[in-house]
Amino acid sequence: MATKTTIPVIALLLLSLFAGGVASAQDGGTLEVSVRYIGTEGAVNEERPIIVAMFDNPPAGESARPVGFPQLVQENGVTVTFEDLTTSPVYVVAFFGNPASGQPVSGGPLGIYGDSWEEPDGIDITDGDTIEVELRFDDTLRMP
């Protein structure tokens, strides 16, 4: 009798170990973005949050759609985390947003990770990596 009980227990143990191994092999990377607004438009808070969005291509025009869910920042210098990323490279954008709609504020400051809007820096992420970046922006770029 002990043998009949042991075999299913071992089978379940092996199955759970195999399933765990498969799950970890499919885990993506993690991106931690510290966001700091250094412009003159006022404080970052609940009424004036920053929305941080991630794209799989350099965002250009109104047809650009973010990858995953954008993150909301209500305090300057806060770090947001995007997990289980399987797309690489990614491009990160930050802008002041309307807290009710989540939409950008027309004419509000806009920042992108990299040297310029025309040539943003892609962030390479591989499985299991945790990449930390800082996105600092001011009033140089504006939403249309």
Condensed to tens digits (0 to 9), the pLDDT of residues 123-142 reads: 999 889 999 999 999 999 99
How distant is the alpha carbon of residue 27 from its chain centre?
Answer: 15
- For the stretch 52-76, pLDDT in tens is 999 998 887 676 788 888 999 999 9
Provide CB contacts within 8 A for 56, sequence distance 6+: 67, 87, 90, 91
What does the pLDDT read at residue 98? 87
pTM: 0.77
**Predicted confidence band at 14 (pLDDT cuts at 50, 70, 90)?**
very low
Class of the 28-142 domain?
A: mainly beta
